[in-house]
Every structure is written in C-alpha cells, then in structure tokens.
Amino acid sequence: METVREEHIEKSVHKKKMKPWIKWTLISLSALFIIAISLFIYVNAYVNRSLPQIEGEQILGGLNEDVTVLRDEDGVAHISAQSNEDLFYAQGYITAQDRLFQMEMSRRQASGRLSEVAGEAALTQDKYFRTLGLRRAAEASLELYDDEAQQALEAYANGVNEYIREVEKENKWPVEFKLMGMDSMEEWTIIDSLTIGKYMAYDLGGHWERQAFNYYLIHHFSEEEAYELFPTYPQNALTNISDEEYVDLSKSMAQAPKTHEFNGSNNWVVSGDKTESGMPILANDPHLGLQTPSIWYQVHLKSGEYDVSGVIFAGVPGVILGHNQDIAWGVTNVGPDVQQLYLEKRHDENPHQFLYDEEWVEADVINEVIHVKDGESVDLEVVETVHGPIISEFTNGIDPEETSTAFSVDWTALDPTPELSAILSINRASNWDEFEQALEDFHAPAQNFVFASKDGTIAYKANGKIPKYQDPDHALLPLPGWESEYDLNEHVPFNELPTLINPEKGFIATANNKVISDQYPYHISHMWAQPYRYTRIYQVLEKQDQLTVEDMMKLQMDQMNLQAEWLVPIMVDILENQDLSEDEKSALSLLKDWDYNDDKNDPQPLIFHQFFDEVEEQLFSEHIPEDIYSMFSGKGQNVDQLIANVLSGETSLWFDKNGGLEKVFKDSFTITVQNLKDEYGTDMNNWAWGDYHQVYFAHPLSNISFLDRFFNKMDPVQVGGSHVTVMATSFRDDGTVDHGASWRFVIDMDRIDQSYHIVGPGQAGHYRSKWYDDQIIDWVEGNYHLTDTKADSGSTLHLIAD
C-alpha cells in the first residue's frame, strides 16, 4: 500500500515539473514581449517628441519682445507680435514646428537637391531643375527687394533656424527625417524662401511642353493633321524651323517633370447689390495637387502694421491669399504664354557657341555637381544662351557635340522678380488703389486677381509679366533662336492688363477661361481652360440675388457637368442608330435619364468619363508615342473642338483616320461598357462613380508600401465632381483624385473678422497631430471651418524674448 502511494506522489511531482524547452521558450517570449513593449514605448516617445509645442512658454533668443501664438480648434496659428520683425520670426518658427519636413523637401525639390536624400530615383528631376535654374533666378531676384522685404525674409529665416537648432539640441527630428536617413539640416536662408516661390511659378507657368508637342506634330504628320491638333488653327506659324536638324524630344524633354494639366482655380466676387448682407462676398478655391501635408499653410498674422489672415506656402513669410481688416482677394491661373522655346543653332566645333544675328555668341556655362545618396556624384553642365538654358539635353541623352541644334527656353520667372514685396504690400493694402499698386511687383506666375473691400468695391486684374508677341501664332511653336527679331523683350504694359472694376452685372468670375475679347490688343494665351466651370459659375451668379456665404459654399461644391450636358445628347443621337448590345442599350438608357451631376453614387458619371477617355484613346494612342503623348496638354479642349467641327459639317482628319465620328463613338462605347462590366459587375444599377473616383491625399513617403498606412491613415474616400465641374476633382487613370481645390475660402465683407475655409487634408504636418487629416471628410462633403481673427480661445503658446 505504501509503495502505491509513493508511486502516486512521484508521478504527481513529475507532472508538476516543467519541461526545460517549454520553460526557456516562455522566458524567451516574455523577453521578446518586454523588448517589443519597450521598443514601442521608446518609438512612441520619440515620435511624440517632435509634436509641436502648442501651450505654455518657450524662450526664444531671437525675439525682441514676447509673442503670443493661439491655435484655434482647427489648428490655425494666430500670431500676435509687437513688431514686424518679431511677427515674421515667429511665423518662421511656428511654420517649422508644423511643417519642417515639408519645407526641407520643398527647397530640395525646387533647388534640384532631392538626390542627396532620395538617391538615384530623383536624379532626372534634379537635373531638370538644376538646368532650369529656379535657385539661380531666386538669387538674382534678391537685389530687387527693398530693406523692408529683406528684413521680413531674414526674420522668417531666423525663426526657422531657431527651431532647427532646437530640434538638433533635443534630438526631436520628425520621423520622416529618420526614415530617410537624415539626422541634420542645413540652416534656412532667404534664398530658400524665394526659391520655393519660384517653384510655384513653375507649377503654374507650364507652356513649353505644348510648343514641343506641336513641334513633334509638324515633323511626324501632315501639316493639316498637325494643325488640327493645335490649340488654335495657325495662319502664320513658323514651320520653316522644320528644315533644321530635328531635336529628338523622347531622349530629353519628354522626361522632364510635368506640371499638372488641370492646374487652375475658381474665383468670384459678388457686389453688395446681389448679396443678402449688402456687402461684397468673395470666394476662391485654387486647384493644385492634393497631398499630405497640404500645399497651403493657414495662418493669421497680427502686429502694428499687419492684421492679415489666409494661406501661404510653407517656407515663405506673409499671406498670399486671404483677407485683412479692409480687403479680401483670391486668384486663379491666367495661363498665359510666358514660356517660349527657341531652336538654337550650335557651332560645329564649339558646342558652347550659338548663332545669333549672324554671329557666334558664347553661352554661359554653369558646372553643377549633383550629389547622389548611395551613389557617385554627377557632374552636370548647364548651358545658358541669350534666351535661356538649353533644356533639350539635361538628361545627357543627347551628345551636344554630335548635334547642330538644341532647344533653349525663355521664361519670365527666370528673370529677377519681386513677388514677396507684392505680397507684403497686399497684406497691408486698405483699398483697390493700394492693392493694384502692390500688384505691379507680382510678375510670376501671372494670376487672375479678384478683389473686394469694405467700401463696397469689387474688382479684377489679370496680373503678371506677359510677353508681347509680334504675332500670336509665334507662341504655338519654337522660334528661331538665331534671329533677334523673334526675341521677347517687351511685355504687356501694366496699365493695359485686363482690368474690371464694379461691373454693372454685379459680379466677376474666372475659372482659367478666356478672359479677354477678340478686340483686346495683345496676345495672352492659346491655352484657355474648357469653359464649363466658368459657364456654370456664371449661370448661378447671374440668376440669383440675395446671395449668402452658404450659397458660395454650395457653388464651390457644385457638381453639374456641362460638358456632359452638351455631349450626352449627341452620344445618344449617334449611338441609338448603331447596332447595340442589350448591355449597351441599358447603359445608354441610364445616360438619357441623367441629370448631369457628377454624383459619387450614380453610374452615369462613371460611364461618361470612361467613354470620353476612351474616345481620346481611340483617336491618338496608336499614332502618338506614350512619352510624347504626356506633353499633349489641353487635349480635352482639342477633342471637344474636333467633335464640334464634325457636327458642324467640317472634316476632321483625326476622326477620319480612325473610321469617322460614329465609329469612334461606337467603338469607345462598346469598350467602355465591357470594361465597366468586367470591373463592377453586370448590374449597372450597382455601378457608382465613387467606386472608381476616390480622393487620396498622398504623403511623399506613402509610395513605400509599409509606410502607406503609417502616413495615410484613412483609405481613399469616394467623392463626386470631376475636372470639368466647379467642384474640381481631377483624377488619374486609376481613378485616384489627386488634384483639385487645395484650399476653399469664402468671406462676406460684412463680417470681415470671420472667414470660412477648408484646407485638405488638415493644418498639421505631424501624423500624430489631431489636425493632421481631420479635414478630409470636410473636403469631400463641403464642411467649412470658421476662422475668426478675434478668436480668444484655444491652445496658447507664449514665445518669450530672452
């Protein structure tokens, strides 16, 4: 009996003993868990360390007197200072708190220095911007600035540098710096701010690409086919340059970074005669790239001379769009012909000499060195002729010693220009005369300014440094660089730029449309936007009185597609006479019942936009190489015009070579319906525009797969509108909306302290901030936030003078 008991006890003890491998496995897992938790806590603490300080006190050695920074419930900084110097110092410091990584990337992009941190992937882009010379132009511009503007720039740079020193001392770099292997940052300079300004002129000033495309057309198609795709049919185009040695665009210029085809905006101003308040109302929504963080930084600046609220580019002092206590203003892009290509003749033995008025003139040679992360540095030779830099060889795809011709570009923004002086003067202006006087210094980019003031004035001016062409057709193609008679040395006089003050109709609106009549004495542009957005704005403003801020918000979110209203009845007439499948008949029936709103929940916008894209594909894809096709800006206007020509009885060679209008429409519709069935199923009632058309504010690092969710916490969001609606939502081939109203702004001059804004995706640049992406849904749905320049509640940071 005792033996049995002992055996039982021995077995029980054996059961209680843990096997060694299990024990060590648990210990290892526990250790790993502790390490993971510790690492998480460390990373979390490190990431949070770089969040901006928004409350309490911060001693700053560069201040003369204390400054107060109140951040309202939307993260907008209201900066109050006793002097202008302290105001701009604080603006630089606070902007760097919120957007330091964006500022660093912006100056690198504009200066051609991204390869230093991004590696070889950015090399082609760096070569282009070094060749173009935005930074050289910024350096040349500094001499135009008076002491006041230079002091503002210097104070701003000092504020930025104060924050950089703080970051270095406390090792609180934004996480993006660490992810890119950056543990230091050069000091901020005046030239950095001016270079960012030049980049915005570049982003809004594209024109040479279309000249290059037209040049390609006349070398690869008959004159009739080429001219049919010109933005206007030329009478005196200089096709004699086709006799010179052809410059292969695919080896160089087709690889240049492209500005967005739909860079533009809406703005309008309504007089008090048409408003409920009896005072003017102004609205503006600039259309630029949609990104994280926003291209705009909203701020309110107040000192003895300034009380101005609105938006500015991170890295630049002042407020470029917005209002003060007397006036408000907004812009759209004029889109003038300010970039001109010149075909240059090179000396057979000296590649740095070019023919000019029967003499060989030595070009300026600038030797640039591009440092490449994890790679060898690249030497780049930039050659500048009397017209501007040679841009047809920036990729090194063409050997200059083996070619007798090259393209240079003349561009007004490469000249010294003093836009920041204009901005600071605008910020302090109190009436139209002072505002217009300030505009004389705003040369590039050329903008349609609308204006309202508390005295009831509404006004408009198409402003900028716009070349005077001897013949408008000369702006369609490159010009002979060897003949000085084609030089663009004169500009439209400032007092003769298009201007309108207090019109009888009671409102002024622009949407990148043609802003001049045929009687206007100067050439402005061949590349006006399609008229649909402007026409819709005009329709709404003309028929309504007693307009309110809410009406303006509603109009900014308007999704009426006037292109479809014109084209769908034509489609129906053509396709009803075709042999359609049952699915095609169903799709056509849906289009016939459409109200022409690009509503995200409806199938009709999906069918229409896919159809129109397919028409373009049918017309051009087999005839124009993809890299050259990327330079075909404004093709939507061309297709509209080709369709209109055919309907009016004219011949279209491009439709004819593809079987005629009816065949192109039928084939495009068949392909569209089949593609949509494959993608979204056979039940067309379940198709929705928003299933394809979705907005995504991409962060620069979100293209790295594992960082996508990190920096873009929200999935793409379904959205209505399109590139032809007032609610501008331009989209890529995959349906991603990446371009549109980068900022929405409405103000009633009756309540000058209060303005309404949407800054998508949000105000902050730090992904842990509550203001990082809090306005994405607001952007989609049109929920505006109120900014009050008299705000007295929020998070307050006191910047203390040391």
Q: Dihedral through CA 86, CA 445, CA 118, CA 47, nearest 10? A: 40
Asked if residue 372 lies in contact with residue 378, where contact means CB atoms within 8 angstroms, the answer is: yes
Strands 353-356, 359-362: pairing is antiparallel
Interatomic CA distance for residues 531 and 22, integer angstroms: 75
- Known active-site residue 705: no
Exposure string over 613-645, b if 16+ CB within 10 A, otherwise e: ebbbebbbeeebeeebbbbbbbbbbbbbbbbeb
Report CA-CA distances (Å) from 612 to 343, 407, 581, 618, 671.
35, 34, 19, 10, 11
For residue 334, the one-letter residue type is V
Interatomic CA distance for residues 773 and 717, integer angstroms: 12
Q: Which two three-digit tokens encode residue 103?
A: 């500022």
Q: From the CB of residue 186, how many other CB atoms can be counted at a distance below 10 Å?
A: 12
Sole residue written with tokens 């210094």? 441
Interatomic CA distance for residues 584 and 599, integer angstroms: 21
Ramachandran bin of 681, using left for φ above 0, alpha for ψ from -120 to 50, beta for the remaining angles: left
Q: Report which secondary-structure segment, H or E, holds 6.
A: helix 2-16
Triad 238, 243, 247: Cα angle to 5°? 95
Is 337 annotated to bind ligand? yes
Interatomic CA distance for residues 393 and 398, integer angstroms: 6
Interatomic CA distance for residues 321 and 297, integer angstroms: 11
For residue 8, the one-letter residue type is H
Axis-axis angle for helices 419-428, 190-203 (nearest 10): 90
Check 265, 309, 421, 425 and give the catalytic one. Answer: 265
Q: Dihedral through CA 614, CA 618, CA 620, CA 624, nearest 10? A: 110
Interatomic CA distance for residues 318 and 88, integer angstroms: 8
Active site residues: 265
User: Which parts are annotated binding residues for Ca(2+)?
Assistant: 337
